[in-house]
């Protein structure tokens, strides 16, 4: 009985120490948590400079055919770490921070439209010695992935499009209505409270992240506020539709039915533009399926890729 009491006391002491660390040193706790998630996914942090003087920071791991995963607006490479845990045993993963986001270069006067971002990613891929790849992208990342496939159709073997942007002829989303009516953008975070609201806005089934860790994560967005404001304006004026109509690259289109950022009605419009596409609607899920339901998202993608192999 005494041993049981000692064990319980040690567990309680450990929990108290952990909570204390969370509030006293949230930066260290957040960094440790991200590092652990990356290791569990088999991903290592890497950097590479390009001839134009810019640099990419990216995660890489796994073996097999190359799958590049592209994060969305205001996000970074770690948006794909949870789903990568279920994919890195099947594929060689490359998960970059886009230029303008995360730890990659943030040139103030650069062109941040999707074609320019796709061209930069092409330079990255070439620098890594890769000639063929599969592309996955969330939101803005899906928009960029589609443009990439249109620009380099012989190099892209398939597309995984998670609530992608760029189909602006679709019915207006809740986000578009809010911006139109209030001139306030819920995706921009000027302070910690704003970031917490953004986090709640983009997901219906978010992973639990303690508020001190959210506040640490917010700092990157707060520092990037002015640049992101400009990028959002360029992005929403940049349609993918003229590029992708009739694009024959096999594509899996995934949409959260509760997406408040981009209308879920967009899925069928996009499906009509891509003749070799299929659609999966995810009930109860918001704008970020790979964060809200990482295992289900990975399983659906693995089935899609298995179907491609059977066709070949």
Task: Extract the tokens encoding 55.
Answer: 């640099």
- pLDDT of 2 reads 54
In the structure, what pLDDT confidence band is assigned to residue 15 with cuts at 50, 70 and 90? very low
Q: Is 119 part of any domain? A: yes
In the structure, what pLDDT confidence band is assigned to residue 8 with cuts at 50, 70 and 90? very low
pTM above 0.85, yes or no: yes
pLDDT value at 293 more than 60: yes
92 is catalytic: no
Q: Is 26 part of any domain? A: no
Task: Report the pLDDT averaged over residues 189-205.
Answer: 97
CA distance 165 to 220: 22
- pLDDT of 19 reads 54
Report the CATH number that the domain containing residue 49 is assigned in CATH: 3.40.50.1820
Q: Is 10 part of any domain? A: no
- pLDDT of 51 reads 86
Q: Is 1 part of any domain? A: no
Percent of residues, the chain, with pLDDT higher than 70: 92
139 is catalytic: yes
Q: Cα dihedral sign for 11, 13, 14, 20?
A: positive
CA distance 108 to 230: 10
In the structure, what pLDDT confidence band is assigned to residue 141 with cuts at 50, 70 and 90? very high
Task: Extract the tokens encoding 62.
Answer: 């796994």
User: What would the pLDDT profile of 83-120 be if each residue is shown by its tens digit?
Assistant: 999 999 999 999 999 999 999 999 988 999 999 999 99
300, 254 Cβ separation under 8 angstroms: yes
CA distance 76 to 149: 21
pLDDT value at 20 more than 90: no
Beta strand pairing status for 277-282 and 66-70?
A: unpaired
User: What would the pLDDT profile of 34-91 be if each residue is shown by its tens digit?
Assistant: 999 999 999 999 999 988 889 999 999 999 999 999 999 999 999 999 999 999 999 9
Q: Is 13 part of any domain? A: no
Nearest Cα to Cα of residue 220 among 177, 261, 188: 188
Question: For residue 292, what are the domain limits?
Answer: 34-311
pLDDT value at 143 more than 90: yes
Q: Which one of 54, 71, 88, 287 is the catalytic residue? A: 71
Task: Report the pLDDT averaged over residues 241-259.
Answer: 97
199, 214 Cβ separation under 8 angstroms: yes
CA distance 264 to 267: 6
**Lowest-pLDDT range of 8-22, 78-92, 95-109, 264-278:** 8-22
CA distances 52 to 113, 118, 119, 198, Å, are 17, 15, 12, 33
142, 163 Cβ separation under 8 angstroms: yes
Task: Report the pLDDT averaged over residues 183-203.
Answer: 97
- pLDDT of 106 reads 95
Q: How many CB atoms lie within 10 A of CB 102?
A: 20
Q: Is 180 part of any domain? A: yes
Q: Which one of 104, 138, 139, 277 is the catalytic residue? A: 139
Task: Report the pLDDT averaged over residues 239-256.
Answer: 97
Mean pLDDT of the chain: 93
At 159, which helix (H) or strand (E)?
Answer: strand 156-162
Number of domains the chain is built from: 1
DSSP structure string for 61-96:
E--SSEEEEE--TT--GGGGHHHHTTTTTTSEEEEE
């Amino acid at each position: 009985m005494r041993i049981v009491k000692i064990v319980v006391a040690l567990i309680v002491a450990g929990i108290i120490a952990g909570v204390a660390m969370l509030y006293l040193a949230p930066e260290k706790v957040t960094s440790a948590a991200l590092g652990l998630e990356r290791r569990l996914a088999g991903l290592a942090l890497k950097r590479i400079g390009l001839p134009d003087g810019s640099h990419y920071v990216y995660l890489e791991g796994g073996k097999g055919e190359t799958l590049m995963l592209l994060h969305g607006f205001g996000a970074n490479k770690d948006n794909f770490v949870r789903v990568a845990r279920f994919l890195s045993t099947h594929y060689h993963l490359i998960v970059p921070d886009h230029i303008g986001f995360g730890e990659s270069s943030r040139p103030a006067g650069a062109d941040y439209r999707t074609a320019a971002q796709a061209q930069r990613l092409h330079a990255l891929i070439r620098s890594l010695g890769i000639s063929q790849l599969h592309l996955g992208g969330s939101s803005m990342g899906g928009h960029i992935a589609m443009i990439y496939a249109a620009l380099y159709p012989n190099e892209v073997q398939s597309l995984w499009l998670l609530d992608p942007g760029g189909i602006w002829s679709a019915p207006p989303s809740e986000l578009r209505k809010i911006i139109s009516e209030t001139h306030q953008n819920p995706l921009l975070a000027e302070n910690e409270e704003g970031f917490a609201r953004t986090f709640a806005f983009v997901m219906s089934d978010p992973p639990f992240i303690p508020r001190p860790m959210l506040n640490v994560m917010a700092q990157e967005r707060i520092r990037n506020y002015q640049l992101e404001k400009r990028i959002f304006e360029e992005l929403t004026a940049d349609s993918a539709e003229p590029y992708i109509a009739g694009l024959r690259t096999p594509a899996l289109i995934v949409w959260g039915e509760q997406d408040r950022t981009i209308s879920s009605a967009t899925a069928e419009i996009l499906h009509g533009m891509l003749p070799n596409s299929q659609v999966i609607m995810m009930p109860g899920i918001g704008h970020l399926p790979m964060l809200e339901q990482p295992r289900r998202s990975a399983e659906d993608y693995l089935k899609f890729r298995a179907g491609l192999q059977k066709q070949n």
